[in-house]
Structure 1
């Protein structure tokens, strides 16, 4: 097990500027913890290791910041120190969804890849507004998602290919009262009519979504259809402009 210490020149909390996590194996790491300089010095002097540091008398368990109950499928949660902005990241297994094309009517059973959805929430009074949602495809290889996981473009429409941002059109942004309700955004995305906006991007080279529906309807999704986004999950999570 290897401990990683990071010192940020602009820490989230100036009293606890040192970020620490441990890696059990490549790609598998613990949650991030925050320490003061004195705490790190004391731990290194007394134990020569950070292991078990939560049991140190200088760190009280009652001071731990506990996130709200998160929706099923959540793989990451982040919160701004002033609580004005939150991020929730979901993993969506590869499966088929019944979608509408353009107008309400016949449903099409379309296969979707394994995906990650990154939702940002802005606080408005006692509620939270889903300010943005980004969706990317990932390989269906049974491997856990890590910072080095390569991302692929969402293959269908209603998502901007350059940024992965969902285009909500004229629809109002969803308001939720708790994090558990954030997953409503995914249901809204898959239930809203798909049109030709922002195009399709697959290895088949088909440019019209309607034609792609006819080609793939009722089948199982193949990762051979995916085209790389040329960024990793970790790189996308650090983006501030999308």
Structure 2
């Protein structure tokens, strides 16, 4: 593949990435985050009462027009979610209220009228460079390992399943990164490096890696290293990289610190 084709493919990827970020009900649309308690509570002028117990979250529409999966909520609705897993959303007019479990349950309001959505100007990035496409080898563990990592929110932790590690070399030095399962196959690698807190977001970046080939070979294209939601909003609870996933060199590739993070 020539440099021109490589750059064109990266630009296509970047446009799609930024289109997804600009989703009017995406991460940039977050305007609040609250942790539920055992007391039914109304939040931020939203209709309904929200609370939790040790197992689940609950909402009572309390006369409001709330819907879930296209169906009007009538009476108290129970949501039992996986810790550190995907959330679910309740629709109220033009906004969506996300319920998620992060040890306890939280509610986050996604508002398409949020200032961050209206003012989004893209993500600063390094120029694409084929030199940052590296080859590695995936080595599975005998058994997937539950791995606890910290979070950008003090006192919070996440537990993910690590199926194995990826090994690769740069400038004759071998590096090993713990891999988590990707959302749509393959792996997700959380990492920091010598640019973190300098030109890139301090807490973390993420690299999606496709499934290995028959010999365990994988491709690490650091040009496509992305920021996690916490780089764009203070209402995210993103995980920190697992122990050992700090690279000892500067990965001058992929997304830089977002304008949104520089502003707060």
TM tier relative to shorter chain: under 0.3
Q: TM-score, normalised by structure 2?
A: 0.23
Pick the structure with more strand per residue.
Answer: 2
Q: TM-score, normalised by structure 1?
A: 0.24
